[in-house]
Structure 1
Amino acid sequence: MTTDNTTPFDATADATAANRVDTAPVAPLAPPPGEPEQAGNRRHFLRTGVVAAGTGLLASALVRQNVGAAPPPPDFYPPPSPPTAPFAVPLPVYSAKSASRTLSPSPTKAAQANEAGRLPHQRWEQFLPKKLVEIHIKQGSHSFHPQYPTQTIWGFDGICPGPILVGRYGEPLLVRFYNDLPADLTGFGSPEISTHAHNLHDGSESDGFAGDYFSATKFGPTLTRPGMFKDHLYPMIYAGYDQYPGTNGDPREALGSCWYHDHRMDFTSGNVYRGMAGAFLLFDGIDSGNEKDRNSTALRLPSGIGIYDIPLIVQDKRFDASGMLVFDQFNTDGHIGDKFCVNGKIQPYFKVQRRKYRFRLLNGSTSRFYQFYLVLENADQTFTYISNDGNLLPAPLQMNQVRLGPAERADIVVDFATYPLGSRLFLVDRIEQFDGRGPQDNLVFPGAQILRFDVDAEPSAADTSRVPATLRALPPITMSEVAQSRSWTFDRTTSGWSINGQLWDVDKSGADIKTGTAEVWTLRVSGNWWHPIHIHLEEFQILSRNGVAPPPHERGRKDVVSIGPGEEVKIFIRFRDYIGKYMMHCHNSIHEDHAMMVRFNIVP
């Protein structure tokens, strides 16, 4: 097993033996024969009437992984996936990606000869990388369930989900992303990549802009040439560095539970669905990742990545009659699966000790919303909710459910010491959702069991972790900083999903925003759909939802807000430290692929 050089906590090996799996990537499989799909054709295909947009009932093209499939008839509805036995496999838990001593060629401010043609790294001299990581995006062999065949996926380092990336504030990190995908495409997605670290505070050239996609032979409209790799510099500063340079930015702006995924224009949904996503965890002196930390400022939350600190990436999938992954790539409402994967496995189990665990829940699905409950013998259990979208709350909340739209995150702490040995608890989803338009108003009982927790051992050592009464203070909302207010309406046109009546235009800015200012944005949904709206670069704070103050768990900082039919959300957001092109979009990634994105430029 590999461990990260900066991981500050290590637990005994017997704590991991029941759950750890080998994370070494498999050798790439030879790509199956097939004609490459031309980039950028999908929205043109839809607009020209082959699939009628805006009708609510669309022709579907259910594409099987690895094997080409003819489009089904217009009235086709995907059949259910073949049955699988629940809780047949352990939850995959991974250690952190190891740092590299060097990279060859050595990173430089400007793009190198074999690198995709990006702009120079901003603030390079200030934030020279102290940690180097190399990742290869490539094909790999993956088993979703023992009753399904092993099949080819696309993944970071060829695994699904990708390895856990770890960053520490004050230690600039450079990640080199190699595109080793085969040029010839069979199935869905597109083999060019643009990796977004959601939602790190970084230069636009490292943000994973949708038009910055590349391969060895192709490149997007916002790059200047193709390349074998692309370097992303993550400065690991808190937002507000220019205002608070002495503390590496404003520590109240720290992030914790992030993730990274592909963001290739028009094909984000298919590429992420094929496997291109992973957890990205950030630490500092407060959330230090060490439950034994003697520093008085340290929270000492449950720690040890893959031991007592567990990312849970939840995704829904659909499989054909032979157990091969399929994707409804032309239904512009969205894609809904009927098999629930956690960390790449269908309904796994996880053995726990009688002590506290930190679970970092991520909705990594294409279009599905979740409402999670922790259940023991049909009784809902209480857990401690500590973080929303990777942002620690000012104080922990005692809750018995958490609702997550696509790309939303929640950190919860569960104390299994309150349960006797032999107890079995379940993570259950009860929200009802039939299609990509969003969830229904009612809940389903008893719900779908996503993950089973087996309480099977006493702690291997004393549990020194805790959840203090105070977590992390919020930055103030100072209305005197507001330079401008803007309104954004998310709707549907006959040509695709739109923002303020406009389709995505990679070259056109919908707003030019002066750096160092704050704005108030009003986000509205005019149709009968749900849209999880994500803003790149900066976190925001919700001022109101439909004129009412947000509930306690939404009063922290966020980077995704789920907005329902006819709803209006007002947010306060600052723009700092970096300039260039960024995006706002719906994180129902089918919607973003079909034009529900807008570029904004941050200017000096």
Structure 2
Amino acid sequence: MAVSRRQVILLGGVGIMGAGAAGAAAVPWGSVEAKSASKLDDRQMPRPYAAEFTQPPVLKPTSVGTDPDDGARIEHYTVTQRAATARILPRLGTPILGYDGIFPGPTIEVERGTRTTLTVRNQLPATHPAHGHVLATSTHLHGSASLPQYDGYANDVTMTGFKKTYHYPNYQPARTLWYHDHSAHFTALNVYSGLAGQYLIHDPQERDLLPQGEFDVGLTISDAMFARDGALSYDDRSRSGLWGDVILVNGVPWPRMKVKRRIYRFRMLNASISRSLRPYLRSGEPLTIVATDGGLMPEAVTVDNWRHAGAERYEVLIDFSKYKAGTRVELRNRSNENNRDYDHTDKIMAFDVVDDPFDTSDPTWNTLPTVLVPDNDVMGLTSSMAVKKRTMRVKRNDKTNLWTLDDQSWGQIIASGFQDVFAQVGLNTVEEWEFENKSGGWFHPMHIHLIDFKVISRNGRAPFPYEVGPKDTVYVGEGEKVKVLMRFGPHQGRYMIHCHNLPHEDHDMMTQFRVGLKANEDDPWDPIQAARPEFDDD
């Protein structure tokens, strides 16, 4: 088990909660004996590669309209947050909180330039069934350049019995986004309970270059630990992080998927609240990364493995034409420093190659692209464009057990009436920020809302090749210094910066920046007041 010294001395209480893929079919589980974090009877422990792979349903719009001002297409969607029971264990149900009662929530797919509204109805219990906190929620579309009042600001919460309609412009290039709860101080518990789903933007360039349809596959990867009764245990080890012993893909433990002998595209989202991954193929064959958080890279990158933190998205091509029918190809996990690992956390899922026919007139079946988007605006930024350079030190206070960003916490932001900021930036200006990890013993996926950034250096050297694409979350390992470059826009207002190890974010590793406006200036985009939730009388 890989455990750092500081993690060994940190102890945390255990509560009970639930997540999983509600409605999953019963599967022929076997028993497995393993050292684990779960308290399940051995007969209840899921067995790697015993369950069939599933994908969440694609959400259909409730209606479609046209913007009267410019004729743009508008699609209207609705999801309902509610409690449900998932079947992810042999004979035990697992309570969850889910969008439409499933985990992951339904996938939303839109074309670039099509605007959407997403009405989120909070029909959850008034308080969390296991932990007792008020289930007020805030939905963040991670990776979207949304207006502040639709960005899922942590204190812009919707209470049980209310609903909020979010507006998304979808003008950004094709990419894999995800929507998840972002309520202040309870993001980790709520996301761990199941409040997460993928949201995809397509465009013609991406459609021409990469596999589509059944060969374009979303993988939402997370980890979990189970109580004896089948509910999820929650042990964040004194707020340092939660590392479960069961790896879930789309809410299914270590699934197996049938694949045809051609190239597939996998949209890999690490939705774990703390665990990072280092995926690789057990066969030793390389994988091709074609897109990062913000969409297509300038060039495809071939890797043996890569470091994948919580909230990061990588779009990966795997060529199954190299394998004979009947071959099993395993997607494995080498893990990273400062995770906690168990007997089977070195496995993610398996692919079983079959000889079924497919359309070979589609050129993506056997073509691994090389040049993708060499003229991406974000990747064209240079340090000479930066009007200011800033350093953010990522720390832990061993006396208070709180995490801070440059000695600032979200509690201080609240106390300031939400006016204090880490940075006051000009609209459409370019800045260079350095994240310096001074916490010792932990890694931190740092996420900046609103913008895509370019990673320009890691510990004074070039970034990893697979990071050379537009990003919104960056892995900052123990003792590392990472520099990023970004242009602030297109909106004005207040946006968050935080660690995406979600127990860190909740306690209290989050701050904010302000674009354009000054402190206490009249703010028509106030993230809490500009678009209030409504009573849900439907």
434, 448, 452: which one aligns with 2:346: 448
The answer to whether the aligner puts 1:566 opposite 2:479 as a matched pair is: yes
What SS is found at the alignment partner of 1:141?
strand
Task: Give the partner amino acid of 1:419.
Answer: Y
> Is the 2:294–2:452 Cα contact (8 Å) retained in structure 1?
no
Q: Deviations over 1:459-514 (max 9, x none)?
A: 33326123332111232114453222211100011330001111112313222211
| Match runs of 1:248-259 below 5 Å | 254-259=173-178
* Cα-Cα RMSD: 2.5
Task: Give the partner amino acid of 2:202.
Answer: F
Equivalent in the alignment of 1:421: 325
The answer to whether the aligner puts 1:354 opposite 2:239 as a matched pair is: no
Task: Report the Cα distance in structure 2 between the residues aligned to 1:314 and 1:407, rounded to whole angstroms.
Answer: 10
Equivalent in the alignment of 1:237: 171
Which ranges in structure 2 are unaligned for 5 or more consecutive residues? 1-5, 19-35, 518-538
> Is the 1:362–1:407 Cα contact (8 Å) retained in structure 2?
yes
Task: Give the partner amino acid of 2:437.
Answer: V
Task: Report the Cα distance in structure 2 between the residues aligned to 1:125 and 1:228, rounded to whole angstroms.
Answer: 30
Equivalent in the alignment of 1:497: 403
The answer to whether the aligner puts 1:158 opposite 2:64 as a matched pair is: no
Which ranges in structure 1 are unaligned for 5 or more consecutive residues? 1-53, 67-76, 109-123, 217-226, 239-253, 289-297
How far is the alpha carbon of 1:81 from its aligned partner?
4.6
503, 513, 517: which one aligns with 1:600: 513
Task: Report the Cα distance in structure 1 between the residues aligned to 2:433 and 2:164, rounded to whole angstroms.
Answer: 33
Equivalent in the alignment of 1:8: none
The answer to whether the aligner puts 1:64 opposite 2:16 as a matched pair is: yes
Task: Give the partner amino acid of 1:62.
Answer: V
The answer to whether the aligner puts 1:526 opposite 2:438 as a matched pair is: yes
Equivalent in the alignment of 1:313: 220
The answer to whether the aligner puts 1:99 opposite 2:31 as a matched pair is: no
Equivalent in the alignment of 2:426: 514
Q: Deviations over 1:225-270 (max 9, x none)?
A: xx721111111123xxxxxxxxxxxxxxx24111111001100000
Task: Report the Cα distance in structure 2 between the residues aligned to 1:186 and 1:156, rounded to whole angstroms.
Answer: 17
Task: Report the Cα distance in structure 2 between the residues aligned to 1:340 and 1:564, rounded to whole angstroms.
Answer: 22
TM-score by length of 1: 0.74
How far is the alpha carbon of 1:359 from its aligned partner?
0.6
Task: Report the Cα distance in structure 1 between the residues aligned to 2:223 and 2:134, rounded to whole angstroms.
Answer: 20
Task: Give the partner amino acid of 1:273.
Answer: Y
How far is the alpha carbon of 1:390 from its aligned partner?
4.2
Task: Give the partner amino acid of 2:193.
Answer: R
How far is the alpha carbon of 1:588 from its aligned partner?
0.3
Task: Give the partner amino acid of 1:452.
Answer: A
Equivalent in the alignment of 1:194: 138
What SS is found at the alignment partner of 2:334?
strand
Equivalent in the alignment of 1:326: 233
Residues 88, 55 of structure 1: CA spacing in aligned structure 2 closer, same or farther, 3 A cutoff? Answer: closer
> Is the 2:263–2:319 Cα contact (8 Å) retained in structure 1?
yes
> Is the 2:260–2:320 Cα contact (8 Å) retained in structure 1?
yes
Residues 79, 449 of structure 1: CA spacing in aligned structure 2 closer, same or farther, 3 A cutoff? Answer: closer
TM-score by length of 2: 0.83
Equivalent in the alignment of 1:48: none
121, 144, 150: which one aligns with 2:88: 144
How far is the alpha carbon of 1:551 from its aligned partner?
2.2
Task: Give the partner amino acid of 2:201.
Answer: L
Task: Report the Cα distance in structure 2 between the residues aligned to 1:463 and 1:85, rounded to whole angstroms.
Answer: 39
In the TM superposition, structure 1's runs of 4+ consecutive aligned residues that sit over 4 Å from their partners are 77-82, 124-129, 443-447
Task: Report the Cα distance in structure 2 between the residues aligned to 1:544 and 1:345, rounded to whole angstroms.
Answer: 37
Equivalent in the alignment of 1:462: 360
> Is the 1:190–1:271 Cα contact (8 Å) retained in structure 2?
no
Task: Report the Cα distance in structure 2 between the residues aligned to 1:479 and 1:388, rounded to whole angstroms.
Answer: 21
How far is the alpha carbon of 1:312 from its aligned partner?
0.6
Equivalent in the alignment of 1:287: 206
> Is the 1:129–1:235 Cα contact (8 Å) retained in structure 2?
no
Equivalent in the alignment of 1:205: 149
What SS is found at the alignment partner of 2:225?
strand
Task: Give the partner amino acid of 1:344.
Answer: G
> Is the 2:259–2:354 Cα contact (8 Å) retained in structure 1?
yes
Residues 575, 148 of structure 1: CA spacing in aligned structure 2 closer, same or farther, 3 A cutoff? Answer: farther
The answer to whether the aligner puts 1:181 opposite 2:124 as a matched pair is: yes
What SS is found at the alignment partner of 1:414?
strand
What SS is found at the alignment partner of 2:392?
strand
275, 283, 304: which one aligns with 1:368: 275
Equivalent in the alignment of 2:31: none
> Is the 1:431–1:444 Cα contact (8 Å) retained in structure 2?
no
| Match runs of 1:383-398 below 5 Å | 383-398=287-302
Equivalent in the alignment of 2:530: none
Q: Deviations over 1:344-366 (max 9, x none)?
A: 01111101111111011111101
Task: Report the Cα distance in structure 2 between the residues aligned to 1:138 and 1:598, rounded to whole angstroms.
Answer: 29
Task: Report the Cα distance in structure 1 between the residues aligned to 2:235 and 2:326, rounded to whole angstroms.
Answer: 41
Task: Report the Cα distance in structure 2 between the residues aligned to 1:395 and 1:568, rounded to whole angstroms.
Answer: 25
Task: Give the partner amino acid of 1:178.
Answer: R
Q: Deviations over 1:165-206 (max 9, x none)?
A: 112211111111111111133213641110111111110111
Residues 456, 190 of structure 1: CA spacing in aligned structure 2 closer, same or farther, 3 A cutoff? Answer: farther
What SS is found at the alignment partner of 1:319?
coil
> Is the 2:148–2:493 Cα contact (8 Å) retained in structure 1?
yes
> Is the 1:81–1:339 Cα contact (8 Å) retained in structure 2?
no
What SS is found at the alignment partner of 1:193?
coil
% identity of equivalent residues? 32
Residues 324, 444 of structure 1: CA spacing in aligned structure 2 closer, same or farther, 3 A cutoff? Answer: closer
How far is the alpha carbon of 1:320 from its aligned partner?
1.5
Residues 445, 178 of structure 1: CA spacing in aligned structure 2 closer, same or farther, 3 A cutoff? Answer: closer
Q: Deviations over 1:386-411 (max 9, x none)?
A: 11224211111222212201111111
Residues 79, 169 of structure 1: CA spacing in aligned structure 2 closer, same or farther, 3 A cutoff? Answer: closer
> Is the 2:311–2:500 Cα contact (8 Å) retained in structure 1?
yes
> Is the 1:81–1:338 Cα contact (8 Å) retained in structure 2?
no
> Is the 2:235–2:242 Cα contact (8 Å) retained in structure 1?
yes
Give the number of equivalent residue pairs: 476
Q: Deviations over 1:542-581 (max 9, x none)?
A: 1111111112211211111111122111111111111111
> Is the 1:190–1:267 Cα contact (8 Å) retained in structure 2?
no
Task: Give the partner amino acid of 2:175.
Answer: G
Residues 181, 129 of structure 1: CA spacing in aligned structure 2 closer, same or farther, 3 A cutoff? Answer: farther
Task: Report the Cα distance in structure 1 between the residues aligned to 2:109 and 2:38, rounded to whole angstroms.
Answer: 40
What SS is found at the alignment partner of 1:160?
coil
The answer to whether the aligner puts 1:277 opposite 2:192 as a matched pair is: no
Task: Report the Cα distance in structure 1 between the residues aligned to 2:450 and 2:216, rounded to whole angstroms.
Answer: 26
Task: Report the Cα distance in structure 1 between the residues aligned to 2:185 and 2:8, rounded to whole angstroms.
Answer: 20
Task: Report the Cα distance in structure 1 between the residues aligned to 2:361 and 2:292, rounded to whole angstroms.
Answer: 25
Task: Report the Cα distance in structure 1 between the residues aligned to 2:386 and 2:71, rounded to whole angstroms.
Answer: 29
Task: Report the Cα distance in structure 2 between the residues aligned to 1:393 and 1:214, rounded to whole angstroms.
Answer: 36
What SS is found at the alignment partner of 1:521?
strand
The answer to whether the aligner puts 1:303 opposite 2:246 as a matched pair is: no
Task: Report the Cα distance in structure 1 between the residues aligned to 2:301 and 2:88, rounded to whole angstroms.
Answer: 34
